[in-house]
């Protein structure tokens, strides 16, 4: 068990006042912690010291030093207002203002949080010694989401540091060797043609207006929409006649205060993946003008991805549903809520009377809130009387849940994102975090680049993390269970297992080891195609690592043996003692924003909220008592079973919330055929999706930004979202709609807000006992289990595992081979997400910026296959499986190899959606579709054509890796004189005259 | 059998119904703020009679053109210099010590009164009178002040010319 190193307390003085500091803290960190206001521009806590601006200079034990990078020491005497320190701070600010024109009142960044404005104001800057001069470069407006204005850029390098060492996309750098240095993208490409993934880190961290969201331009201020023909002379005049900046600052402060009355800033939680990024949404009326992450956000800090930062256009899309729709003949008719509720209540009641409650099924969403999921399962169980309720985790994460429940007893990540970042080794199996969980990927890339964290990737496809890995191996399809079990056996054979941990915490080790007998390295090599040497190397890396974090996702779970492979990963971590300690553990990366919460809050056919089995009499009785109604003891049907039951005429009515089942379920021709056969279908969604087109009643729901509630991210972290905008038209938050349906069916629910729903769930599910909205206020969060007193559990299993005897259970190895490829097919179609689009694209497809980057789906073909079939980028091919056929354009890339294709899932079109091809085969234990075991033959319809992945896509860029901002290159320029040297020379010579070198 | 459909019959509010709803909303507002609206209308009527309303609305409509004209005037060298001078003078005044200014002004006032009185009554000044005046403590204090003033001015003139 790693212990936190005890930090020594040091005694120091700041301006003659004694105070305490912690060892390894810098002077600036100490001053800020002590509440001492001190100028600093380039320093940001998320980046650490980058030493480019010099505004934080202080005297420390009589020497002029940078406060941001100088560590405190015992009895250090710090004088931040010594005349030499103040002169240095002023000189530093003068050099900054030479690069940046202060026109704050008419600047879109004057919103009270402009670092430069605030620093200059704090320093009581009255004027500048060196006049402003433009650098002579044009603004770069090419990217659809943000712009760069070199003439306002102060060359602090925050953006570069963020891109190189925080996001680690390695696109931005400063070309220090130019006569006028500037930030460049790749090797000086326009932003839109570079490798920039538009994650927004640089924009968020820019301390000025040099990098700004385009949605802010001309929108944020009262005067910022003025044309340049008026604006420029106005700025010039103010500059000329104002003898001191006091007046300018005062006016801009007033204007900024006025802006705060028109710009609303509301915290929300992102809906685009399971990372659980939280940030403030800035709105002006219904316009979303900015997404502003906060460094206190527990999952992401200041990090975002392109979707979270810029992908919210769907909220105000004209395609949003704004009134309930009722099917009559071959049209939908807009209706009132009363008409819709009446019809639903009547039809559900008739179905229940005629066929019984189990003829009705409910499918919930992993995109809606915990409270809404709680209400849906309550509607199913307490009002309709069935356990036929499931959510879309059935399509993705159920095998992981099963694997963890079997081995360690709780269904969630065992630690937090900090544990991933802190691990000695990260093992990524069947997951593509750089696209599907981008902010988690940044933590891995940062730890790998800056700290030398070992990165091992096992995947069929060479994605970004694979490119960066210390070891990347490509197994054969569906063989993960074999090589993981062989690796586990080899580790034990070598004596590298954690005997003490096993003895104390695990049951059945001997039997397990015996069952591994046939999983030799030779067998693994033969089955998986991974060379024995590589497996040995992997085992050695695991053995040497101080903590192993295993990240896995759909590449593991969407197979016939997905559950067993999930258990095998857990087994490996158990025998190596990588549970119950920091910087290690298991991380099944949840795909949607609330996959974890949807399951936690009970939209599962066999579990009540908080993973209490419906067959558990004591638990069920507690719910019966609270809900004043008997509950069914019969486990319900899952998604797959419901579709089968429709086909068999057993399921007659369905209520489906927020899932595009007609495209995301497997073998969609089959699913769509089933939906047609339902007697009655209610679909609740934002848009008239393909699924909704089959409905009898369509209910217009509100997206996350239009409601309150909580989401639970992949870490088990529960976070609140606040209402940013009022619901559009007559749409309603899902919890209000579900309550409307329940009450029309006679339920008499009286929840006034989601907080009351959470209170009820906390009463009934022990793992949420201490969860309340008060404890989740603002950016606060809780990781379940949460004790009654509010104590949460960031790290699981420190006091034993989630079984009665607190001991883990090793799952017996059981390899379920992939469905064999029939002779008529010769290609494997791998499938998954793309960075730019969320899932099938119903939401992100409404964003012109995202569509500019990725306008449609495509199929990736390996260079060898392209040569063999004589096709090029843009070729049109027909892919035909045993279940359907589609037509797509080709991208030739070495991300895939051999006979493997990759078809991203961002399509809502019958002619290109991946699930036209996928099969009915499922994971044996959980019925999760084996999406990844899909085989096709390919017919070339056209051998070349327009590339479906446009040239302005970042995948074509050429990264420019650097060690952060590389400030030493700035200092090494001929003629450069440091701020320290300048002010000390002036003091020595007594010279008041200006000898600035122009190199700053 | 429910085949997928995409056609939606939208309930488009008739123009009469929309108008009725607007009128009803407006009447509700009038009822709520009757007294305030009475005052507002009286005031606005007076402003309108004075022709200010038309002038204001025209100015708002032509705001960009007016701003450009105003800026052209303001950015002409003479006006810019004038504004700069005013701003500099204001700046100088803002930096002077209030007590010193008060004392200096009183001294100047007393000096003027004494000066006028002396120039009316006294005979023309000769060398003896000058030497005699230099013995006077008040005169000596004023001279010390004047020399200090000259010294300060000289130093500043020197600094300004070397910049």
Model confidence over A141-193: pLDDT tens digits? 999 999 999 999 999 999 999 999 999 999 999 999 999 999 999 999 999 99
pLDDT at A998: 47
Q: How confident is the model at residue A255 (pLDDT cuts 50, 70, 90)?
A: confident
Compute the average pLDDT of residues A424-435: 98
Chain B CB contacts of A129 under 8 Å are none
Range with lowest mean pLDDT among A307-316, A583-592, A859-868, B99-108: B99-108
Residue owning tokens 């990540």: A413
In a domain, B89, yes or no: no
Chain B 88-107, CB below 8 Å of chain A: which residues?
88, 91
Residue B122 has pLDDT above 90, yes or no: no
Compute the average pLDDT of residues A973-978: 94
Is some CB atom of chain B closer than 8 A to the CB atom of A689? no
pLDDT at A670: 93
In a domain, B136, yes or no: yes
- In sequence order, which ranges of A123-174 are alpha helices (DSSP H)? 158-161
Range of the domain at B34: 20-61
pLDDT at B162: 54
Q: Residue A868, Cβ neighbours under 10 Å: how many?
A: 11
Compute the average pLDDT of residues A220-236: 79
Residue A900 has pLDDT above 50, yes or no: yes
Whether the Cβ atoms of residue A475 and residue A458 lie closer than 8 Å to each other: yes
Is some CB atom of chain B closer than 8 A to the CB atom of A908? no
Compute the average pLDDT of residues A947-971: 96
- In sequence order, what DSSP letters do the residues of A601-623 get, joined into one string? TT-BTTEETTTEETT-HHHHHHH
Q: How confident is the model at residue A2 (pLDDT cuts 50, 70, 90)?
A: very low
* Residue A378 or B115, more confident: A378
pLDDT at B51: 85
Is some CB atom of chain B closer than 8 A to the CB atom of A334? yes
Asked if the Cβ–Cβ distance from B11 to A323 is below 8 Å, we say: yes
CB within 8 Å of A360: residues ≥ 6 apart: A348, A351, A352, A380, A384, A386, A388, A651, A652, A653, A654, A655
Chain B CB contacts of A681 under 8 Å are 2
Residue A306 CA to residue A272 CA, distance in Å, equals: 10
Q: How confident is the model at residue B159 (pLDDT cuts 50, 70, 90)?
A: low
Range with lowest mean pLDDT among A114-123, A498-507, A878-887: A114-123
Q: Residue A798, Cβ neighbours under 10 Å: how many?
A: 12
Same domain, B102 and B55: no
Residue A938 CA to residue A629 CA, distance in Å, equals: 56
Nearest to B7 among A331, A335, A993 (CB): A331
pLDDT tens, residue by residue, B83-121: 788 878 887 887 888 888 888 889 888 888 888 888 777
Residue A995 has pLDDT above 50, yes or no: no
Residue A169 CA to residue A883 CA, distance in Å, equals: 39
Is some CB atom of chain B closer than 8 A to the CB atom of A663? no
Compute the average pLDDT of residues A2-10: 61
Asked if the Cβ–Cβ distance from A243 to B64 is below 8 Å, we say: no
Residue A172 CA to residue A182 CA, distance in Å, equals: 10
Which residue in A687, A682, A681 sits closest to A702, CA to CA?
A687
Asked if the Cβ–Cβ distance from A331 to B9 is below 8 Å, we say: yes
pLDDT at B85: 84
What's A635's DSSP letter?
Answer: -
Residue A541 CA to residue A543 CA, distance in Å, equals: 5
Residue B41 CA to residue A808 CA, distance in Å, equals: 79
Compute the average pLDDT of residues A396-415: 94
Compute the average pLDDT of residues A315-343: 96
Compute the average pLDDT of residues A936-956: 96
Residue B126 has pLDDT above 60, yes or no: yes
The shortest C-alpha distance from B27 to chain A (Å) reads 23
pLDDT at A6: 52
Residue A239 has pLDDT above 90, yes or no: no
Residue A980 CA to residue A938 CA, distance in Å, equals: 67
What's A461's DSSP letter?
Answer: S
Q: How far is CA A467 from CA A303, A461, A894, in A?
A: 22, 10, 11
Compute the average pLDDT of residues A293-310: 97
* Residue B135 or A835, more confident: A835
Nearest to A694 among B4, B9, B74 (CB): B4
In a domain, B11, yes or no: no
Chain B CB contacts of A331 under 8 Å are 5, 7-9
Q: Which one of B34, B61, B88 terminates a domain? A: B61
In a domain, B71, yes or no: no
Q: Which one of B61, B84, B117 terminates a domain? A: B61
Task: Write down the pTM of the prediction.
Answer: 0.90
Asked if the Cβ–Cβ distance from B2 to A696 is below 8 Å, we say: yes
Number of domain units in chain B: 2
Is some CB atom of chain B closer than 8 A to the CB atom of A322? no
pLDDT tens, residue by residue, A817-862: 999 999 999 999 999 999 999 999 999 999 999 999 999 999 999 9
Residue A437, CB-side half-sphere exposure with 13 Å CA sphere: 32
Asked if the Cβ–Cβ distance from B8 to A325 is below 8 Å, we say: yes
In a domain, B37, yes or no: yes
Is some CB atom of chain A closer than 8 A to the CB atom of B82? no
pLDDT at B87: 78
Residue owning tokens 């700035």: A970
Output phi, psi for A64, to 5 deg.
Answer: -80, 120
Chain A 78-97, CB below 8 Å of chain B: which residues?
none
Q: How confident is the model at residue A554 (pLDDT cuts 50, 70, 90)?
A: very high
In a domain, B85, yes or no: no
Which residue in A391, A378, A369 sits closest to A743, CA to CA?
A378
Residue owning tokens 């089968």: A644
Q: How confident is the model at residue B125 (pLDDT cuts 50, 70, 90)?
A: confident
pLDDT tens, residue by residue, B47-73: 989 888 888 888 788 877 777 777 777
In a domain, B14, yes or no: no
Whether the Cβ atoms of residue A961 and residue A195 lie closer than 8 Å to each other: no
Nearest to A237 among B5, B75, B162 (CB): B75
Whether the Cβ atoms of residue A192 and residue A143 lie closer than 8 Å to each other: yes
């Amino acid at each position: 068990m790693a212990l936190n190193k005890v930090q020594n307390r040091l005694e120091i003085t700041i301006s003659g006042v004694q105070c305490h500091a912690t060892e390894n803290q810098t002077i600036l960190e100490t001053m800020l912690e002590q509440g001492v206001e001190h100028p600093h521009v380039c320093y940001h806590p998320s980046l650490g010291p980058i030493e480019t601006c010099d505004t934080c200079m202080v005297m420390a034990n009589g020497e002029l030093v940078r406060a941001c990078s100088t560590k405190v020491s015992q009895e250090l005497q710090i004088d931040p207002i010594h005349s030499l320190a103040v002169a240095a701070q002023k000189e530093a600010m003068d050099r900054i203002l030479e690069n940046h024109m202060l026109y704050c009142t008419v600047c879109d960044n004057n919103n009270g949080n402009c670092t430069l404005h605030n620093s200059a104001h704090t320093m009581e800057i009255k004027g500048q010694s060196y006049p402003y001069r433009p650098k002579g470069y044009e603004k770069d407006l090419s990217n659809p989401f943000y712009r760069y204005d070199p003439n306002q850029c102060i060359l602090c390098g925050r953006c570069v540091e963020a891109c190189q060492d925080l996001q680690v996309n390695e696109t931005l750098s400063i070309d220090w060797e130019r006569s006028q240095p500037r930030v460049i993208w790749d090797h000086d490409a326009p932003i839109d043609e570079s490798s920039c993934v538009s994650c927004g880190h640089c924009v968020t961290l820019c301390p000025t207006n040099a990098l700004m969201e385009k949605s802010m331009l001309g929108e944020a201020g009262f005067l910022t929409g003025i044309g340049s023909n008026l604006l420029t002379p106005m700025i010039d005049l103010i500059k000329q006649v104002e003898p001191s900046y006091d007046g300018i600052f005062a006016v801009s402060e007033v204007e900024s205060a006025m802006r705060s009355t028109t710009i609303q800033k509301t915290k929300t939680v992102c809906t685009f993946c399971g990372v659980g990024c939280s940030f403030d949404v800035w709105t002006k009326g219904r316009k979303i003008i900015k997404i502003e992450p906060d460094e206190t956000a527990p999952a992401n800090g200041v990090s975002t991805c392109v979707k979270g930062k810029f992908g919210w256009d769907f909220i105000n899309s004209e395609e949003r549903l704004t009134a309930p729709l009722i099917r009559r003949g071959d049209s939908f008719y807009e209706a009132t809520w009363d008409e819709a509720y009446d019809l639903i209540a009547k039809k559900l009641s008739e179905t229940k009377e005629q066929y019984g409650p189990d003829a009705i099924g409910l499918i919930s969403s992993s995109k809606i809130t915990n409270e809404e999921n709680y209400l849906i399962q309550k509607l199913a169980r307490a009002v309709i009387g069935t356990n036929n309720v499931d959510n879309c985790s059935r399509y993705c994460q159920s095998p992981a849940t099963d694997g963890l429940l079997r081995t360690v007893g709780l269904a969630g990540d065992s630690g937090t994102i900090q544990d991933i970042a802190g691990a000695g080794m990260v093992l990524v199996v069947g997951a593509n975090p750089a696209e599907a969980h981008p902010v988690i990927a940044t933590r891995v890339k940062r730890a790998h680049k800056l700290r030398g964290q070992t990165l091992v990737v096992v995947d069929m496809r060479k994605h970004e993390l694979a490119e960066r890995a210390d070891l990347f191996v490509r197994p054969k399809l569906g063989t993960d269970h074999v090589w993981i079990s062989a690796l586990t056996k080899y580790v034990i054979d070598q004596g590298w297992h954690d005997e003490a941990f096993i003895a104390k915490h695990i049951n059945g080790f001997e039997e397990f080891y015996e069952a591994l007998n046939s999983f030799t390295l030779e067998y693994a090599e033969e089955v998986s195609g991974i060379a024995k040497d590589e497996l040995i190397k992997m085992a050695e890396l695991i053995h040497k690592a101080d903590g192993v974090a295993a990240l896995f996702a759909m590449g593991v779970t969407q197979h016939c043996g997905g559950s067993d492979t999930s258990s095998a990963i857990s087994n490996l971590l158990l025998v190596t003692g990588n549970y119950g300690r920091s910087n290690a553990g298991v991380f099944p990366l949840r795909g949607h924003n609330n996959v974890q919460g949807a399951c936690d809050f009970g939209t599962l056919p066999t579990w009540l909220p908080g993973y209490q089995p419906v067959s558990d009499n004591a638990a069920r009785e507690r719910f019966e008592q609270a809900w004043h109604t008997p509950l069914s003891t019969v486990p319900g049907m899952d998604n797959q079973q419901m579709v089968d039951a429709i086909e068999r005429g057993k399921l007659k009515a369905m209520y489906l919330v927020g899932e595009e089942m007609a495209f995301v379920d497997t073998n969609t021709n089959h699913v769509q055929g089933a939906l047609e056969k339902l007697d009655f279908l209610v679909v609740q969604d934002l848009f008239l999706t393909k699924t909704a087109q089959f409905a009898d009643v369509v209910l217009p729901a509100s997206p996350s930004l239009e409601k309150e509630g909580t989401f639970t991210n992949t870490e088990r972290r529960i976070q609140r979202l606040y209402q940013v905008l009022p619901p559009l038209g007559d749409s309603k938050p899902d919890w209000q709609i579900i309550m409307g349906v329940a009450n029309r069916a006679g339920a008499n629910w009286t929840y006034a807000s989601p907080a009351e729903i959470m209170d009820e769930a906390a009463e009934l599910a022990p793992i949420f006992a201490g969860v309340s909205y008060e404890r989740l206020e603002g950016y606060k969060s809780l990781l379940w289990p949460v004790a009654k007193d509010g104590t949460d559990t960031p790290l699981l299993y420190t006091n034993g595992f989630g079984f009665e005897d607190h001991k883990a259970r090793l799952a017996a190895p059981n390899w379920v081979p992939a469905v064999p490829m029939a002779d008529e097919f010769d290609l494997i179609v791998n499938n998954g997400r793309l960075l730019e689009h969320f899932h099938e694209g119903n939401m992100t497809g409404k964003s012109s910026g995202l569509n500019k980057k990725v306008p449609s789906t495509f199929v990736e073909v390996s260079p060898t296959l392209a040569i063999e079939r004589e096709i090029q980028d843009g070729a049109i091919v027909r892919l035909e499986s045993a279940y359907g056929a589609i037509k797509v354009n080709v991208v030739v890339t070495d991300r895939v190899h051999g006979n493997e294709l990759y078809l991203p899932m961002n399509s809502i079109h019958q002619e290109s959606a991946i699930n036209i091809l996928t099969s009915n085969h499922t994971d044996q234990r959980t019925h999760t579709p084996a999406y990844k075991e899909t085989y096709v033959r390919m017919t070339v319809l056209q051998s070349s054509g327009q590339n479906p992945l446009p040239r302005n896509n970042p995948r074509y860029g050429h990264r420019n890796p650097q060690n952060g901002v590389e400030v030493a290159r700035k200092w090494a320029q001929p003629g450069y004189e440091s701020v320290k040297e300048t002010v000390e020379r002036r003091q020595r010579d007594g010279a008041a005259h200006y000898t600035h070198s122009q190199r700053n | 059998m429910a085949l997928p459909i995409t056609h939606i019959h939208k309930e488009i509010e008739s123009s009469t119904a929309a108008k009725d709803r607007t009128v009803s909303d407006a009447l509700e507002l009038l009822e709520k703020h009757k007294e305030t609206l009475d005052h507002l209308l009286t005031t606005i009527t007076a402003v309108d009679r004075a022709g200010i309303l038309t002038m204001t609305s025209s100015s708002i409509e032509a705001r960009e053109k007016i701003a450009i004209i105003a800026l052209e005037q303001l950015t002409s060298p003479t006006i810019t210099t004038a504004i700069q001078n005013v701003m500099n003078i204001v700046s100088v005044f803002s930096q002077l010590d209030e007590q010193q200014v008060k004392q200096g002004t009183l001294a100047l006032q007393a000096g003027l009164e004494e000066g006028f009185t002396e120039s009316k009554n006294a005979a023309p000044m000769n060398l003896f009178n000058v030497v005699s005046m230099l013995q006077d403590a008040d005169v000596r204090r004023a001279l010390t002040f004047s020399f200090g003033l000259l010294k300060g001015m000289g130093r500043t003139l020197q600094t300004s010319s070397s910049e």
